[in-house]
Structure 1
């Protein structure tokens, strides 16, 4: 008969518990990977995420060069990042609805502020959250986050769902990027000397995540204005 109390605390289960404890990994000066940092927030974050998406659904935007992004995205906060044939920019209005972007949920802001502080950037006050959805095969080419007005503030990037390979390079596009496997709940924070480093995401491998299904969601918090 199965044990109705659930699994016993075997060595494997102890390992699983240990693996979700937050840990800190230096990536570069001003850049840190906070393993499992978002896990304590996951239920509230996922619930809030669903509310944001209901108001501002995902869409695949078109770059100024006419290329449709493989990543679908939306935004929340007082400013949202958009791209179209006229260029890249932040806008307070969702171009699909003509309405302001959904307000940033309190749990989003709390997670971003605490992660930034853990990464060495106390006082972070994000006003924009870019929400990217990666389906299997979707990728993000190497780029800099340079459309913001305030480069003194860090970037806080939260991973949910399927694992992804994060590419973190240097100040020049030609700099060879390091590769980091990001799991559900991992958070990357970079700023200061690393604020304008090139970064991207390798094509997402197929899989099934217990909470998020066949996708990866990335929340990127910024001080845009």
Structure 2
């Protein structure tokens, strides 16, 4: 409901912009898959990275000396539900993995993306140049916007006490009509206080991405 209030088509819109204008065709598969699969990103200035190597891990160009350390974190998730691709208790067989590379490592469910492909684990450091860093951070923001929004909504509801044991027990006795009315009231309050701000932030990010992609 909250997502629809923001923009019914915004997931497709953001992924389209990120894919066509920000995800570079010269980036390595390893870098792209990690960027697209993991919802978290850590970017650290690394002034000494060029002492470790003289190329960018994203584009593999030696003329783009690395100046930043990027790590992609978090479990790969399903776009439809935003739930992890594999739960901790899920078993995974080699037949479930569709990958033509990196086939020697033991299977780890946290390193399999929604397409069934192996991806770099969370401890992988990508040393990148300033241009690839700028495009990658913006692309990551747009690709995972819906995931971040969902986390924000959950945090907002937790701060409001909606998920407290007392509130949950209270709602157990409500009719469907009353639950629906209550949910609408919560969304209206969010609309009044926060959703408009989030929508403005989203549009600023989208505008910035289009400008960067056109450079």
Structure 2 length-normalised TM: 0.26
Q: Report the structure, 1 or 2, having the larger helix content.
A: 2
- What TM-score results when the alignment is normalised by the length of structure 1? 0.25
- Structure possessing the higher radius of gyration over alpha carbons: 2
